[in-house]
Amino acid sequence: MNIILSMRLAALYSGGKDSTFATYLAHQMGHEISLLVNIVPMDKASWIFHTPNLSIVPKMAEAMDIPLISVVSDGTEEGDMDALKDALEGLDIDGVVVGALWSDYQWDRMNRVLGELDLIMLAPLWRKDQDMVYDEMVSAGIDAIIVGVFAEGLDEGWLGRHIDNASKDELKILRSRYGISIMGEGGEYESMTLDSPMFKKRLVINSSNKNVKKGVGTLDVTDVILEDKTSE
């Protein structure tokens, strides 16, 4: 299938940094982001979809003023793929923008579903250098924080930290020591977006809880407020 010069797209949107940056890049390419699609796995161990703080995604959609479709999945591979197909089937779109970066597993399964629906998959981050993606994401104004740590070297002190240039310097040190991905592509950490150029309002965390057990930690955000952006 040929890529249309300007497409009407749905964004597969989890609220994490990758899906936010990919959505922004698609918009910058001149495509219309007509709606956001969020799959909500009941099993937090889903291999296909991001799961932390999905209850906050409706607030992110409100901040962007883009309609949101949410579909619940049982979290199994088959269930996740069925939920994605159910969410996309019959929509008036040309394709879907995804935040896939290096995971062949995610790529193959999403591509299979979109192929069955005759939809184009736009993946502007796919196979790009992770250091370059990190730098471009920060420079573009994607403001995200770490909300899950699952690798050696990433302790609870990382929870709530902004993914910025200072964090990159420390992540590079941890990469040289432990071999982690600075983008969290090996599941080392999870993120949540607070602001981006597509947000008309920024998210401010009103309440949250840290949960840490046996080297694994999460920041569970329970409430956010939308704050108006003021010009400098």
Measured distance CA(91)–CA(191) in Å, rounded: 28
Q: What is the pLDDT of residue 103?
A: 81
pLDDT of res. 219: 96
Which regions in the chain score pLDDT beneath 50?
A: 231-232
Question: How many other CB atoms sit within 10 Å of the CB of residue 208?
Answer: 18
Q: Is residue 155 part of a domain?
A: yes
- The answer as to whether 74 is a domain residue is yes
Same domain, 105 and 19: yes
The CATH number of residue 63's host domain is 3.40.50.620
Which of these three, 68, 92, 122, is where a domain ends?
Answer: 122
Question: Are residues 87 and 166 both part of a single domain?
Answer: no
Looking at the structure, tell me whether residues 108 and 146 fall in a common domain. Answer: no
pLDDT of residue 4: 59
Range of the domain at 186: 142-228
* pLDDT at 177 (0 to 100): 96
Query: Does residue 113 sit within a domain?
Result: yes
Structure confidence by residue, pLDDT tens digits, 191-229 = 999 999 999 999 999 999 999 988 789 999 999 999 998
- What is the number of domains present in the chain? 2
> 195: number of CA atoms within 13 Å, CB side?
19
Residue 136 lies in a domain: no
Read off the tokens for 210.
């840290």
Last residue of a domain, one of 91, 122, 153: 122
Shared-domain flag, residues 57 and 117: yes
pLDDT at site 199: 97
CATH code where residue 182 lies:
3.90.1490.10
| Structure confidence at residue 105 (pLDDT) | 80
pLDDT at 104: 83
Same domain, 115 and 162: no
